[in-house]
Amino acid sequence: MSTSITLSREDVVRLTERVEGAQKRAVAIPKLTEEYPGMTLADSYAVQNELRQRYLAQGHRLVGWKAGLTSKAKMRQMGVDVPSIGFLTDRMARPENSAITLSDLVHPRVECEVAFVMKADLKGPGCTSADVLAATGYVLPAIEIIDSRFHGFKFDLESVVADNSSSARFVGGGRARYADDLDLRTLGVVLEKNGEIAAMGASAAVLGHPAEAIAMLVNILAELGESLPAGSFVMSGGITEAIPVKAGDHVIARFQELGSVGARFVA
């Protein structure tokens, strides 16, 4: 992050309470930059960090991290040009093929991603995709249900990072594989909604190789004074654009080599 923190501690706490309220009550709020147009990315990560500390203090358990906005399709869809990261807690995890409630989300959309489960700690700066692959226990397919809490799905990178990069729910499943047994760059995926193909792509869409996204995440964590511990579940970012879902829909992401992972949605 090239910029420094400009918000006062009081402003960080105020914005965190605003984001936490929107996430818990599932209400849309104006993007944060409307009130703080000079807000920097460092400010946004300060809000995200405060949000994480609040959830941990409330008994949520940190289970991993996600890289977001890592494909050109996602960046184009959201009008941004820099990836982001967000934290994942036990309260966001949902079992494979379970019914996921949408009444507690604002703008739910689905992404298909390659998830990594780490067997060794990783620390930046200077983390490379080779470091990531050496520290990976296994990979598996995942669905992320993102939820932007901003009015009309209109936001900028500063607002979305403060909103924990739209993290909301995630589902891991399919077939866990050793990363060494696969060419992680060329995995194809088809995302189906209600039996129709909604999007398709190949894993190279994620920064050229999904492990690059995890390296980027570890290097951002280093800037925040954090590292990635062994055992973390880490999502590398949507391979295609995100697909909106509503109650009654079901989705399945069919990955080459990694099997399928699905979810259905209820009100």
**174: alpha, beta or left, given left = phi > 0 and alpha = psi -120 to 50?**
left
Nearer to Mg ion, 7 or 112 (CB): 112
Interaction between residue 203 and ligand 0L1 (CB under 6 A): no
User: b/e map of 33-64 (b: 16 or more CB within 10 Å)?
Assistant: beebeebbbbbbbbbbbbbbeebeeeebeebb
Binding track over 64-93 against Mg ion, x by CB under 5 A: ----x-------------------------
Interaction between residue 144 and Mg ion (CB under 5 A): yes
Interaction between residue 174 and ligand 0L1 (CB under 6 A): no
The stretch near Mg ion (CB under 5 A) out of 42-50, 119-127, 135-143, 238-246 is 238-246
What is the rounded CA–CA span in Å between residue 134 and residue 148?
33
Identify what 33 binds: ligand 0L1, Mg ion, none; CB under 5 to 8 Å per kind. Answer: none
Contacts 24+ apart (CB under 8 A), 245-250: 245/102, 245/108, 245/109, 245/110, 245/145, 245/193, 246/102, 246/108, 247/102, 249/193, 249/194, 250/193, 250/194
Binding-site member from 118, 212, 238, 254 for Mg ion (CB under 5 A): 238
Distances (CA, A) of 181 to 60, 214, 228, 258: 34, 18, 23, 11
Nearer to ligand 0L1, 148 or 203 (CB): 148
> By CB under 6 A, what part of segment 74-103 binds ligand 0L1?
74, 78
Binding track over 238-267 against ligand 0L1, x by CB under 6 A: x---x-------------------------
Give me the residues that bind ligand 0L1 (CB under 6 A), please.
66, 68-69, 74, 78, 111, 144, 146, 148, 160, 165-166, 237-238, 242
